[in-house]
Structure 1
Amino acid sequence: MSDFDIKSFLTTLTQRAGVYRMYAADDELLYVGKAKNLKNRVSSYFRARGLNAKTVALVSHIHHIEVTVTASEAEALLLEQTLIKQHRPQYNILLKDDKSYPYLHLSDHNYPLLAYRRGKKRKSGRYFGPYPNATAVRESLNYLQRLFLLRNCEDSYFNHRSRPCLQYEIKRCSAPCVGHISQQGYDDSVRQATLFLQGKAAELLRELQQTMMAASEALEFERAAALRDQIELLRQIQEKQFVDSGQGEADVWAMTDWQNVLCIHRLVFRQGRLLASKNYYPRNPAGDDDTELLAGFIAQFYLADHAQEGVPKEVVAELPAETMEPITEALRLSIGRRVSHSRGQRGQNRKWLVMAQENARTGAQAQVSGRQESARKLEEVKQLLHLSDAPARIECFDISHAQGEATYASCVVYGAEGLMKDRYRRFSIRDVAAGDDYAALEQATRRHLTRLKEQDDLPGLLLIDGGKGQVARVAEVLEELAISTVALFGISKGETRKSGWEFLWEAGAATPIMPEAHNEGFRLLQWVRDEAHRFAITGHRKARAKSRSQSDLESLEGVGPKRRKELLLYFGSLRNMRGAPKEELEKVPGISKKLAEQIFIQLHGE
């Protein structure tokens, strides 16, 4: 394999659902895959043993990997199939396509058959479709068989059964062939399946929820449990697919500046289907602001004919109208038609813009995680702090509590491979007065440094989220432990409390260091401090919920007993809630878009 640093790449790879694309050194697309958990799936290609010869051959040619984060695994599946059909990568399974569209067919028998069909409508009965993606239809049919238990066997098999087949045993059929379900019961299942296929899933969901509640009140707990499982299956297959919404022709642009790495991400939608996504890493030698840089990039991209999919009808970018007007006018003169602009403030465009922003952040994080980039930034820290050597490892401490309750200290680590999450530590603070951050910090650093000194594994730089007083307290710990090889600095916000205006405090110094806001070493220290703060908050929230004998669901802010009941009724369990996209949370009665976003953030610790 080339010099692709997979270990560094995996350190910041998300565990969300999405699509990954593996490229060769000449940018040839080798393989496209989808994953429910991107980090786990991509990691599996690089394990030490257990790979077959074909996978080893694929891995040996990988030069770099790109990912696109989606809201659910179903959306990832749709995008994967679109990219495979468009690019036909050599390591993917390629099926011949006769260009006939797939349908779902419900026959007109006494006990109707639900089956997958292609081509002309030769058989009598009802057809639903056509659908654009055969793989997605087959997966949906699999869900439908589990959901409604309709038969999937042809007449030649159905008419000669004397006992149930394997489909009944694995709960994929209600066995009407041998009378295990009444005609009325089967007709009811057909009616429910028809409702779903007609797009009336919300109506069907309400019906099933009411039936489940009635069964529970009648003490029919087995039936209520079966209905609960049916509701969960229904919810999974009716998730709103904004990767394949069936309408809209737009290019969606987003940009992020993360640790001085600029990443611009472009999503390409045609007829509502996501056809492509790509990261760009432009340089900014003139020091343009974000608005000027993104607008200039978009203009150059279209006017220099870099859009392989053509110029869309609409460009979605969070840019002012007056900035985009010259660009859209130039495009009108160039291609002879009008191109509209949307800031992505509402509706479908808003969801697409959020997806692009998330992928831009993911791309920037992947870029930063490389070892060379990390080593360069550590060298910048050395120059900023006037250290004799670049620190091999930075460890940063922060304290978090809620009015003195559930005090936690966090320690996050940054090294040559970027964030070293396997070395993260949390310290539950005991026997310290409520709100005494100095004592909490002293206890945590003493416990941590004592262990590292015994292991001869001390960091090069110890960073404290705090000012002169906190640094002085930790300096006493270092002196007590006779540790002289660790540089100690604190980072504190100035009077304005704004990011970029922080001070750096060295132990024993009377005045702080005030770096330039755009100094790369300074920005790295800010980012590590922010990561320590996030990690500490997560720890104290979990501790607070546990101390109050609450479940994770009960600890959600803004969710009272009534809304908890609605959430559990809709999803069935907290696990299902965590696996659902934000758009699904918005469908729960009593949950607004704003509250859905707050719940999503709390469930995922973001």
Structure 2
Amino acid sequence: MERAAVAQREKILAQVAALPGLPGVYRYFDAQDQVLYVGKAKHLKRRVSSYFQKDHGGTRIGMMVARIARLDTTVVRTEAEALLLENNLIKTLNPKFNILFKDDKSYPYLKLSGHAYPRISYYRGAVDRRHRYFGPFPSAWAVKESMQLIQKVFKLRTCEDTVFNNRSRPCLVYQIRRCSGPCVPEGQTADYARNVSNAERFLLGETQEVMDGLQAQMMAHAERLEFELAAERRNQIQALASVLQQQSMDENSATGRDRDVDILAAKVHGGRACVNLAMVRGGRHLGDRAFFPKHVEEATALRLDLDGDEDGDKGGGADGAGDEAGSITAYSPERQVLEAFMAQHYLDASVPSLIVVSEAVDDALAQALTQQAGFKVTTQAQPRGQRRIWQDMCIKGAELALARLLSEEGSQQARTRALLEALDLSAPDLDTFRIECFDISHTAGESTMASCVVFESHQMQSSEYRRYNIDGITGGDDYAAMRQVLTRRYSKLAEAAQLGTGRLPDLVLVDGGRGQVSMAREVFEELGLDLSLIVGVEKGEGRKVGLEELVFADGRVKVSLGRDSAALMLVAQIRDEAHRFAITGMRAKRAAVRTGGSRLEDVDGVGPKKRAQLLQRFGGVRGVAQASVEEIATVKGISRELAEEIYRVLH
């Protein structure tokens, strides 16, 4: 085995020696072919060889290098191309030693439809060139606030086109003076187009031009003695002025390039990191949004190890890895996190021309963003005036968001620790302690559904939740349902755990008392699993919250934790989540059964066309289910035999 490892290392070193001195991206893999790290380099050979030129000992880089079993490289033409490829691979492969942000591009926009009388609306999704979009906005609240303002000042419609096309008189929104009523002929005037134009200019930041135009219109109406129209323009000016005064922005100090600005601030503490993104669009500060990356501790420690090496890097990659041997440059964890965010967030999304940052970042990053955007993108770390105010606000927001996260995580860690102490359990690593909880839900025995929810790393892991349809039991037999779900869940998992390819939970919670626990005990005995893993959550006296008791399958005396116990709070949180997940699944299943659900689609010989004809004829699946065989057979294309089959399936 040792000889094979030596041969593998010699093979990697030979591959490193043959690398070219060109820009590119490198990837390290372990023995299980799992990606460990993705990095970029201006000079591939010099950069990659720095990992293998000395013994890094017990440092993070040493731990990673010891696990490298395979190396892949890709040569590109420029450093910007390397940056693009590096971050695409980071998001795709999720390497352990790279900082990784959740790929969240679902920012909301304000949409102005390409209609003769455009409609403003809240929008998420792919862009359609027939319409105009303004944003992105940091939150749905920011979009809706802007929509309310535009309704108040410019009176643009928000109704759907189907409603608009079938109105015979203006709606209530018109009555409260939030729409000019273009749905009826009286409102279809040139004023609506003018208001649309003013709304667009306002959203683009041309606020002073809009104010001047409204002022001129007001004076013109007054000169013609059209005092009601002049009063409307006056009200628009006052509403617009009121909004502008509320913005955290000094109009006198703002410049044209300040109409669209992003402000970024990074904070790292306690092994966690936060990047706070504040957005200025059309000269208006729209609020901020916090992001929390994964793998921060591993990636930042790896970078510090590289900085401590005499072959440390001169520059910095988007993941904080650096990319060129030369003079040592101290890379703070905040800078690493900030560069990782900018690369992963902007390289495949819209980017403003100015980004104010809390830490100076690599110039190559701005160059790559410029190349990607098609216009010059500038980063500024030491702003003045209004930009400095924005930066300070953003930094404070990052500090508060990170403190809130650490407080919440600390509370959850305390709960996990309290539960282990209450149950007298030991865990080698508290952060990997895993709990699975089961619950059964049905309505008078109908549509029985079992749920399994997972708690690990001090939080619920929703991606690992599972639902189980329970069949072949007497309706309402919760014990048989629990037996079935536990058998299905752990029969294969027990075999995999014995082979070392699977992992059993550290604790199994079942929602129920002695009866449910006894059933779980039988299943675990049959599978040869540890009975001490099973804990039942039994309702207390009067089924009151806070009086629950824990029942054990291994014969221990049941435990009452007390209303204020942190351990009971965690158990209740997990139990309630299992109940919620089960009951939502049961309701969906029950609704499908009662209405026929998708069973019509499962009938052989009923394709999309015939299904559409049936639904149109009988007004829905429920109508088809209520129809007789003779009535179904009257539909075009449905034979007597097919009608009988449809009737049989639905009944």
The question of a shared fold, defined as TM-score above 0.5 by the shorter chain, is answered with no
TM-score by length of 2: 0.34
TM-score by length of 1: 0.36
Greater CA radius of gyration, 1 or 2?
2
Of structures 1 and 2, the one with the larger relative CO (CA 8 A, separation 6+) is 1
